[in-house]
């Protein structure tokens, strides 16, 4: 009687831990996550825009509230934020190319431009001549611009973290994802101000 065949021992797999995840999209998970977050934030802004148009068109509330809005101030802030998008893009490109000086200069410039925007907006609130209690139009003005200002503040915190990592030498061609994600968020904040400025100050 032939001896029963003994199965060969299974080959040892050098891989330890769970298998590598399989992505059905070419978009990196971190980028996809921030893009989905931005979509949800755009919907939040959309609710405020809807309230703005309802107050102006349906309810017939006086617009602009008070004696008018400082269009020149809003336009100046638009130029500042658009400029910060350029410097943020330059920072990201510098990271991909390993340009340390470009990264440091770009992130500091972007942060200072964002802080300038926030300073101008706060100064506008103090001198605009009305308060959220003045009327429904005044409330939606402060609500919509304040929502955007909050996003700018969050963006500045992310930029500060990115600046810390850049000056610590933790960002480079092989490790720039942590800079790319705040950059995408910052571009969203900048673009959103164009919509806010157009609907609130211009239309």
Q: pLDDT, tens digit, for every residue of 111-136?
A: 999 999 999 999 999 988 888 888 88
Q: CA-to-CA distance for 160 and 157, rounded, in angstroms?
A: 5
**pLDDT at 79 exceeding the cut of 70:** yes
Which tops the pLDDT comparison, 68 or 99? 99
Is 187 within 8 Å of 85 (Cβ atoms)? Answer: yes
| All residues at 6 or more sequence positions from 189 whose CB lies less than 8 Å from its CB, including other chains | 81, 148, 151, 152, 155
Q: CA-to-CA distance for 89 and 171, rounded, in angstroms?
A: 15
pLDDT of residue 32: 84
Q: What percent of the chain has pLDDT over 90?
A: 53
pLDDT of residue 1: 46
| All residues at 6 or more sequence positions from 99 whose CB lies less than 8 Å from its CB, including other chains | 93
Please, what are the domains in the chain? 29-202 (1.20.120.80)
Q: pTM to 2 decimals?
A: 0.82
pLDDT of residue 67: 77
pLDDT of residue 55: 86
pLDDT of residue 5: 54
Q: CA-to-CA distance for 117 and 201, rounded, in angstroms?
A: 16
Which position has the token pair 């990264």? 103
137-196 tens-digit pLDDT? 889 999 999 999 999 999 999 999 999 998 988 887 777 777 888 999 999 999 999 999
**pLDDT at 8 exceeding the cut of 90:** no
Q: CA-to-CA distance for 111 and 113, rounded, in angstroms?
A: 5
Which tops the pLDDT comparison, 30 or 18? 30
Neighbouring CB atoms inside 10 A of 78's CB total: 18
Q: CA-to-CA distance for 153 and 147, rounded, in angstroms?
A: 10
Confidence of residue 22 (pLDDT cuts 50, 70, 90): low
């Amino acid at each position: 009687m032939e001896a029963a065949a003994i199965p060969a021992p299974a080959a040892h797999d050098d891989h330890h831990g769970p298998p590598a995840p399989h992505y059905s999209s070419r978009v990196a998970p971190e980028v996809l996550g921030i893009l989905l977050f931005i979509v949800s934030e755009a919907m939040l802004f959309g609710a405020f825009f809807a309230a703005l148009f309802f107050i102006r068109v349906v309810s017939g509330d006086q617009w602009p509230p008070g004696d008018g809005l400082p269009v020149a101030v809003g336009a100046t802030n638009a130029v500042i934020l658009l400029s910060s998008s350029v410097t943020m893009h330059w920072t990201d490109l510098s990271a991909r190319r390993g340009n340390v000086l470009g990264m440091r200069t770009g992130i500091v410039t972007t942060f200072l431009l964002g802080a300038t925007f926030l300073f101008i907006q706060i100064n506008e609130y103090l001198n605009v001549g009305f308060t959220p209690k003045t009327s429904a139009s005044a409330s939606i003005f402060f609500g919509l611009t304040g929502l955007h200002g909050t996003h700018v503040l969050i963006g500045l915190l992310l930029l500060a973290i990115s600046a810390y990592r850049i000056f610590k030498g933790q960002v480079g061609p092989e490790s720039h994802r942590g800079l790319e994600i705040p950059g995408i968020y910052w571009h969203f904040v900048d673009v959103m101000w164009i919509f806010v400025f157009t609907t609130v100050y211009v239309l």
